[in-house]
Amino acid sequence: DIAKAIIDLAVYGKAQNRSYERLALFVDTIGPRLSGSKNLDTAIKYMHNALKENGLENVHLEPVKIPHWERGEESAMMVEPRCHNLAILGLGNSIATPPEGITAEILVVTSFDELHARAPEAKGKIVVYNEPYISYGETVQYRSQGAVEAAKAGAVASLIRSIASFSINSPHTGWQYYRSDVPRIPTACISVEDAEMMARMSSKGMKIVVNLKMEAKTYPDASSFNTVGEIVGSKYPEQVVLVSGHLDSWDVGQGAMDDGGGAFISWEALSLIKNLGLRPKRTLRLVLWTGEEQGGVGANQYYQLHKVNISNFDIVMESDEGTFMPTGLAFTGSDKARSIMREVMQLLQPINVTAVYENGGGTDVDYWVQDGVPGASLLDDITKYFWFHHSNGDTMTVQDPNQMNLCAAVWTVVSYVIADMEEMLPR
């Protein structure tokens, strides 16, 4: 009755709401946790102590280097045809403007294709991207590449419509990449509302002028840590089932959803197993990544350090797409492994979360998945996920304790059973 015992404890028993309560204390006390920040250092120390106090084994920190970028003060004021304060958030890795800012006319485009077609018009202007939101994966390229494409056309800055499926004038930040062969220009995201307004004005032939000020600064890479705790396996301790989420977040909101929820249900999995006095045959390893938002930076260094043991990694699991109502498990692996995962998910019939989907993994564990290690990620109802993602709205208020209980039950049953089965998943 192990699966039932886990579900009962997580959803109805003494552990119900524990991951939510732990997360609330964590994010309310520490706040957002940007890569390279003191807040992130504090968060890692906090979790290091918390995992030890929880009685996990081999609790330790693994040093890594991560980007250190700070946004500073920033503003964008539309000065023609009228004065209007634009809601902005500078994009991570952006350079600063001069202290007096950049004042330039706006060119509004809806796509890279339109920008390329109108490239002669972009010279000396601030390019505003008013790209429609299709899906995160498709639309996020405007955030990550917008500055480079605008600079190639001779623009002096870029303002990018937030990658958001809903907006209440809320800018959403994120990481953007420069190219060594293209001049660096300042870049920030703006709200959907302001992007659409400027598009309407532009389509009517109005001249729009904006003053953009950004103090953003990039420092040398900072020292940080991946945080690790384990329940050591009873029979095959060298073999590992890895469960994970990331501790770092953006510097807005509280990072409660991205990825506080994922990190804390991963911790909860080990806590529940300990509470039940269980010890799986192979080691259950919790890793709380650092520097995920800048492209899985801490996870990449973890992979480089540990890939020599790749044959002992049974499965790598990451929850980084919300901890709302769970709908199933995304899985990447061989057909044989998938058949086994389908059987494992049948254990979750009592809470009606049995589906196995394609494309399991995540930014932090894909290094392993690409090398053939089976990968899994929690799927949940992400209808509202991109309303809050990377914005000031990512707070504890969007989390739901009952939904986190269910997510924790799924995460725990899957990780425990795989860790305890006699054989590793076939590759």
Partner 1 sequence: RPQSKNGRYRQTFEEVKREIAGYK
Binding positions for partner 1, rule: CB under 8 A = 1-4, 336, 339-340, 343-344, 346-347, 413, 417, 420-423, 426
In the complex with partner 1, which residue's Cβ is closer, 2 or 382? 2
Q: Which is nearer to partner 1, 138 or 238 (CB)?
A: 238
Nearer to partner 1, 394 or 420 (CB): 420
Q: What is the dihedral of CA 88, 189, 325, 285, to 10 degrees?
A: -110
Nearer CB in complex with partner 1: 115/278: 278
Shortest distance in whole angstroms from residue 344 CB to partner 1: 6
Q: Which residues contact 83 (CB under 8 A, 6 or more apart)?
A: 77
**Least distance (Å) from partner 1 to the CB of residue 346?**
8
CB of 7 to partner 1, least distance (A): 11
Residues 86, 198 contacting (CB under 8 angstroms)? no
What is the spatial distance between Cα 297 and Cα 277, in angstroms, rounded to a whole number? 35
Q: What is the distance between the alpha carbons of residues 301 and 346, in angstroms, rounded to a whole number? A: 35
Question: Position 382: which residue type?
Answer: I
* CB of 328 vs partner 1, minimal distance in Å: 17
Tell me which residue of 274, 267, 224 sits closest to 244, measured CA to CA.
267
The answer for residues whose C-beta is within 8 angstroms of residue 225's C-beta and 6 or more apart is 44, 48, 61, 62, 63, 64, 290, 298
Taking each helix axis as running N to C, give the angle between helix 261-275 and helix 18-30, from 0 to 180 degrees, rounded to the nearest 10: 130
Q: At its nearest, how many Å lie between partner 1 and the CB of residue 277? A: 15
Of 233, 244, 262, 193, give the one whose Cα is nearest residue 27: 262
**Contact of 165 with 387, CB cutoff 8 Å:** yes
Minimum CB separation from partner 1 for residue 421, in Å?
Answer: 6
Least CB distance from residue 409 to partner 1, whole Å?
A: 13
- Output 55 or 426, the one with its CB closest to partner 1: 426
Q: Which is nearer to partner 1, 138 or 371 (CB)?
A: 371
Provide φ and ψ at 168, rounded to 5°: -120, 60
Give the catalytic positions in this structure: 292
| Smallest gap from residue 376 Cβ to partner 1 (A) | 15
- Nearest CA-CA partner of 341 in 314, 371, 372, 309: 314
113/423 with CB nearer partner 1: 423
Q: Which is nearer to partner 1, 3 or 252 (CB)?
A: 3
